[in-house]
C-alpha cells in the first residue's frame, strides 16, 4: 500500500510538470483562489518555478503619479442698472462688477456699484463667465436709459440707437 501512495505522488508530480500550457501561480497580494497572470515558470514567480512566492520578490512599482492641474477658478462678471424718476426728471445709473469668483458675487458687486453711482432700485442684468461686457448710460431731452454690449462700440451703438447722448461705457472682459 505504501508503494501505491508513492507511485500516486510521483504520477501527480509528473502530471503537473508535463502540462503543455502555462501554469498560473497564486501571487502575493491576490485574493485567495485568484490567479496571477504570471506563469509559474517565469523568472521571479517563486521558488523553483513551483508557484510559491519568493521572499526575495519585490512588488511591482506603482504607476507614475499623474500631475493634474487644478481647474482654473471660475470667473464671472455682471452689470446692473436702474432708471427712476425724481419730480418728473428721469435718472439712470449703471454699475459693473469687475471679475468675481461666482455669478452671485458678480451680480451683488454690480448692484453695489450701481447704488454707489446713485442708482435707486438697481437690478443685475445678468452674469457671464466668458467674453466681454460693457454698459453705458445715455439721455435725451426727455428720456434716459442705458445700453450694453460685448464691446465698447456695441454698447455705444445700442445706447445711441435709443436717441441718447451716451457716456463712455464701463466694463471689461473675462478672458
Check the CA dihedral 35-41-46-50 and report its sign.
Answer: positive
CA distance linking residue 128 with residue 168, whole number of Å: 21
Whole-prediction pTM:
0.60
Question: How do the pLDDT tens digits run along the chain, 175 residues long?
Answer: 454 444 445 454 444 444 444 444 444 444 444 444 444 444 444 444 455 554 556 677 777 777 788 777 799 999 999 999 999 899 999 999 999 999 999 999 999 999 999 999 999 999 999 999 999 999 998 899 999 999 999 999 999 999 999 999 999 999 7
Question: Exposed, middle or buried, 159 (CB in 10 Å: 0-12/13-18/19+)?
Answer: buried
Amino acid at each position: 500500500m505504501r508503494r501505491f501512495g508513492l507511485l500516486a505522488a510521483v504520477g501527480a508530480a509528473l502530471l503537473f510538470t508535463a502540462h503543455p500550457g502555462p501554469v498560473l501561480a497564486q501571487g502575493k497580494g491576490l485574493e485567495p483562489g485568484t490567479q496571477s497572470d504570471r506563469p509559474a515558470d517565469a523568472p521571479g514567480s517563486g521558488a523553483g518555478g513551483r508557484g510559491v512566492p519568493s521572499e526575495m520578490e519585490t512588488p511591482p512599482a506603482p504607476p507614475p503619479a499623474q500631475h493634474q492641474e487644478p481647474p482654473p477658478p471660475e470667473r464671472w462678471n455682471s452689470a446692473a442698472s436702474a432708471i427712476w424718476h425724481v419730480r418728473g426728471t428721469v435718472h439712470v445709473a449703471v454699475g459693473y462688477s469687475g471679475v468675481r469668483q461666482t455669478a452671485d458675487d458678480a451680480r451683488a458687486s454690480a448692484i453695489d456699484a450701481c447704488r454707489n453711482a446713485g442708482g435707486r432700485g438697481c437690478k443685475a442684468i445678468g452674469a457671464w463667465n466668458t467674453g466681454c461686457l460693457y454698459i453705458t448710460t445715455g439721455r435725451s431731452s426727455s428720456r434716459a436709459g442705458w445700453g450694453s454690449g460685448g464691446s465698447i462700440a456695441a454698447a455705444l451703438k445700442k445706447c445711441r440707437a435709443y436717441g441718447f447722448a451716451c457716456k463712455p461705457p464701463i466694463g471689461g472682459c473675462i478672458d
